[in-house]
Structure 1
Amino acid sequence: MTFRAVKTLKAVDLIAAEDTRNTQKLLNHFEIKTKQISFHEHNTAERIPELVELLKQGTQIAQVSDAGMPSISDPGHELVVACIEANIAVVPLPGANAGLTALIASGLSPQPFYFYGFLDRKPKDQRAEIAALSDREETLIFYEAPHRLGKTLANLAGELGPERQAVLCRELTKKFEEFLRGTLAELADWAKENRVRGEFVLLVSGADPDQKREEALSQTLAESIPEQVDRLIATGMKPNAAIKEAANQRGEKKQTVYRIYHQLDEEESH
């Protein structure tokens, strides 16, 4: 908590809290007497018009979420949008954010990074989400609950590759804060063998561009020239453009690829 946040919570007329019981512990610690109202993902639709109307009447409201920053995998975004549409000033109070806190101690490249938050809970949809992220070169940041961690790590290893480097950050800023570093396969094994407790930030290193080029070249060389050109044409390329691209990828002359693709002997290609 910053001094500014404590001062603000004391000064406002009302606190919109994700969980009033949790927030009450915070208020008691700092001897804050401000009244609370619940504001969470299950009552957003009904609560926002009420809060906006109070703000229009001059009520000063602070919004608090549990163990995180409002709007970042926590309630708040819809209220911000509603306030902006109603020309009500939105004042952000900087505070701790689990994703960035984990990133700076992870040892992985701190920038650029790609914050994703929680992946889909359904296995098939989760794998599709991960597959869509597989070529991103930024450090990837996810949040995950302890009871889903093992399956998520297994899916990440399956889609991104078992040797991709990753870091598990558990219970950040709390008594049992812990960082576990290794490959996705190693961390998936750890989750299988241990009792998983606490909330996790999961960071995964970005795709290696050199490795991606090597894999693409390996795939290209495994194809015949006609197979490669047909594959490029299937993506929407014109035949001549596909032949030129195939030649570039293979380091061959365009005439050579053209001749092989069209099954011409050397005299016919001149």
Structure 2
Amino acid sequence: MSVDVIRARGLDGVAHGFLGRRGGVSEGLFASLDLGRRSQEVDDWIAENRRRVIAATLPGAALCTLYQVHSATAVVIDAAYEHDARPHADALVTDRPGLLLGILTADCAPVLFADPAAGVVGAAHAGWKGALGGVTDATLDAMERIGARRDRIVAAIGPCIARASYEVDDAFLATFAAADPANDRFFADGRAGHHQFDLEAYVAHRLAAAGVTRVEALGLDTYAQDDRFFSFRRATHRGEADYGRQISVIGLGG
């Protein structure tokens, strides 16, 4: 099975892809394109899966990922680095050709950014904490520092957990309402004391509010598509011991 590369229309002409779980070599709960390194036992799987990601999106590039911590921190990358030297952050941007920026997710929202005219790209990991804290705003600021213009930036939101699959409690809603009472529009009524949160819509709202005029949301639910995507929440509901991570990537050609 070939690597499943999902592309956004708005990023046409820029090397990128939202990759699902198909087309790799990892096995069991992690079948088959898992990118989450956990132990020496799976390092060979991850190395081959990384090679396949690069070949499917930007051949010859150096894949740069992060030690993701659910923060609102964005870093500028100007050279490749070893996996063990990954920055602790949740977004990265570059203007250097040959670097493939990668974000790992398993329900959180991956967001890819590009200002093709400036030759600047970015990628962000927007879980609810990072999204609320402003990780997409930080990504835009970092892109502008190296020459991008906000009114030219295109952003695409990839596969993430959808509202129908994302049940949260009253305390969760209260956290968002405390930041902005208008945030209640991103929650639908659920069972008693619970609500359904629309992460994708919230991230799209934050991008638009920050001045991004071209935002594309792919509308793909990681929880609902077992054969296509990894999902932390689905694995938790099933009582599984662990879960895989898919990757979303963007880069500049030489």
TM bracket, shorter-chain basis? 0.3 to 0.5
TM-score if structure 1 supplies the norm length? 0.32
Which is higher, the Rg of structure 1 or of structure 2? 1
Name which structure has the greater RCO, CA cutoff 8 Å, separation 6+.
2
More strand by share: 2
**More helix, by proportion:** 1
